[in-house]
Amino acid sequence: MSVTSAHYGATDVRYVAAFDPVVSPARLHLAATLAGAAWAPRDRERLSVLDIGCGRGLTPIILAAANPGWQVTGLDLQPAHVAEAEDIAADAGLDNARFIEADLAGFDEARAARLLPAADIVLCHGVWTWVPDVVREGIVALLRACVKPGGIVVMGYNALPAQAPYIVLQRLLQDAVRGVPGTPAQRGAHALAVLARIRAIGSPHLPPATELDRIITRATASPDYMAHQWFTDFWRPVFHADLARDLARAQLDYAGPARPAAGMADLQLRPPQQEGLAALPAWMEGETRLDAFLDRRFRTDIFVRGRRPAARGALGAISLALGGDPSRAAVRLPTQAGMAGLAPGQQAALLGALARGPQRLADLAVLPGAEDLTEADIAVMLTETFVAHPLWRDAAPDPDRAARCNRAVALHYGTEAAASGTPLGAVAQRLGSGMPASSLELALVVAIQSGMPAEPGPLVRHLAPAGADAAAQDALFTEISGRLATHLGAWRALGVV
């Protein structure tokens, strides 16, 4: 059986370019270690990365810029995406990033081995639950052929049972535009008008109102995203256990969630729910039991080829660095059970130590005032609030390379990201990845890296649109002042600027 690319990939849809910090190798290392799984590459500076379905290339470009010794390969179905990514990589002066147009339908191990290098890290974000079985088979064949022993695969996918109401929504939106001609924007507007009528009538099968409002806002801002997300015939959420069964054919074992807090019952659930969960039959599949209680609509999971237990003391050896001004930091993590946080004395002790420089988790856990916290408690609360970041290396190997990449990313994606609110990333080589950055924050990083003083006045004059009146410039001054107060210290400490 074969499926042509036109059957499952809309080649006229230009996907949103967004950066997700979960791909940071330091964060992946931390997440795997928290789950008790070993992932310890022998040479952190010589890794090979594959990004399946890389879209317009933002993630591979940032990883290639952050890690000069890595080889980063992006695969995508759309030739327009591949061409755009190649152009941006060339503008950034990256000689370690390449992009390949590839249809994984019918892909076999022999072809994968000929075309692609063996990989330490494979990213497959937002692909598995949008493609037909023949493409899933191609992905499994690629993973069998290319993942090194001990290598990891990061799978981002729509997961059941939390996605159940969205199956109804997707079918309604898809049916609303069946046979309707026009651009993605025109078809999207038509689908949203039909949805508004269904909502007004009062269907009990739609997602919750606040989530539906968020979906409508994003779909309105990005019709291309809506076409990709909602108008395909092949969108099929899966249970974690079914994905794990398929990936086991590539000798991949589940290691743990890439966002650890999302999978922690003791953090997400109230005590009666925790007790009820613990009382369920032990023979039920563990992640299915957990997902029956957790709101994990989109899961990002780490699989490893040959799971081994993490070494003793591996978690304590991980170093964290501050991600912002400690005086403005709020270590408060939203959960299903409410807002989790640290006691004032615990926060003061941890942030006070980090303000002096990067600290190992083992050292943070024995600080006076933090004795009641475990290394895992500290890691989750600080890194998942982005108050701190796990480090990949001690120093930035090539700041000029990072600056070139930031300029290229800001030039190619900045205007679009500003209009849509899409997150970008500023290359942070000490993280082996990027720091989350809005389009304005990235513009500030680029300006400072080019030699401008890190002061609101000069930056306003540099970034204000032509013809901006005094009120607009005052508003921009206030916004830039706030961003610098929040981020400048961390940018400097991490070698970003």
Q: In CATH, what number is assigned to the domain containing residue 95? A: 3.40.50.150
First-to-last C-alpha distance (Å) of the chain: 52
Write down the pLDDT at residue 365.
Answer: 97
- Partners of 76 in the β-ladder: 101
> Please, what's the largest Cα pairwise distance for the chain?
67
**Cα gap 320→398, rounded to integer Å:** 21
What is the model's pLDDT at position 214?
Answer: 87
**Opening angle at CA 119, ends 118 and 124, nearest 5:** 130
The reply to whether 380 falls in a domain is yes
Q: Are residues 122 and 220 in the same domain?
A: no
Tokens of 336: 């299903």
How is residue 377 written in tokens? Answer: 């408690």
> Residues 26, 117: one domain?
yes
**Residue 474 predicted with pLDDT over 90:** yes
Which residues, other chains included, contact 459 with Cβ-Cβ below 8 Å and sequence gap of 6+? 444, 447, 448, 452, 453, 480, 484
Q: Within this chain, do residues 77 and 156 fall inside the same structural domain, yes or no?
A: yes
Mean pLDDT of the chain: 92
Say whether both 288 and 330 belong to one domain: no
- Inside any domain, residue 4: no
Say yes or no: 267 and 255 in one domain.
yes
Domain boundary among 250, 269, 304: 304
Instruction: Tell me the helices (H) and strands (E) count for the chain, helix number first.
Output: 21, 15
The model's pLDDT over 220-269, given as tens digits with 9 standing for 90+, comes to 877 777 777 788 888 999 999 999 999 999 999 999 999 999 999 999 99
- Domain contains 325: yes
- Do 31 and 136 share a domain, yes or no? yes
Assess whether 371 and 480 both reside in one domain. no
Q: Which region holds residue 12: left if phi is over 0, alpha if psi is between -120 and 50, else beta?
A: alpha
Residues 214 and 132 in one domain: no
154 and 168: one domain?
no
227/223 Cα distance (integer angstroms): 6
Same domain, 151 and 300: yes
The domain boundary, picked from 331, 362, 390, lies at: 390
Amino acid identity, residue 335? T
In a domain, 43, yes or no: yes
Q: Per residue in 186-218, pLDDT tens?
A: 888 889 999 999 999 999 999 989 989 988 888
Q: What is the predicted pLDDT for the residue at 239?
A: 97
Give the model confidence (pLDDT) of 69-122 as tens digits.
999 999 999 999 999 999 999 999 999 999 999 999 988 999 999 999 999 999
- Rounded Cα distance, 471 and 74, in Å: 44
- For residues 403 and 484, membership in a common domain is answered with yes
Query: For residue 83, what are the domain limits?
Result: 16-160+237-304
Q: Tokens in use for 249? A: 């054919």
In a domain, 2, yes or no: no
- pLDDT grade for 7, boundaries at 50, 70 and 90: low
- Joined tokens for residue 75: 């695969």
Residue 9 φ/ψ, nearest 5 degrees: -130, 125
For CA atoms 48, 54, 59, 65, the dihedral sign is positive
Rounded to 5 degrees, φ, ψ at 244 are -60, -40
Residue 10 lies in a domain: no
Q: Are residues 383 and 404 in the same domain?
A: no
Task: List alpha helices for 301-455, DSSP H.
Answer: 344-355, 361-364, 375-383, 399-420, 439-449
pLDDT number for residue 422: 86
Last residue within a domain, chosen from 210, 230, 250: 230
Work out how many domains the chain is built from and give that number: 4
Lay out the sheet containing 388-390: strands in order across.
359-360, 319-322, 388-390
3 found inside a domain: no
For residues 5 and 483, which has the higher predicted lDDT (pLDDT)? 483
Residue 490, CA atoms < 13 Å, CB-side half-sphere: 32
User: Where do we find the tokens 């270690």?
Assistant: 33
pLDDT exceeds 80 at position 3: no
For residue 254, tell me if it sits in a domain: yes
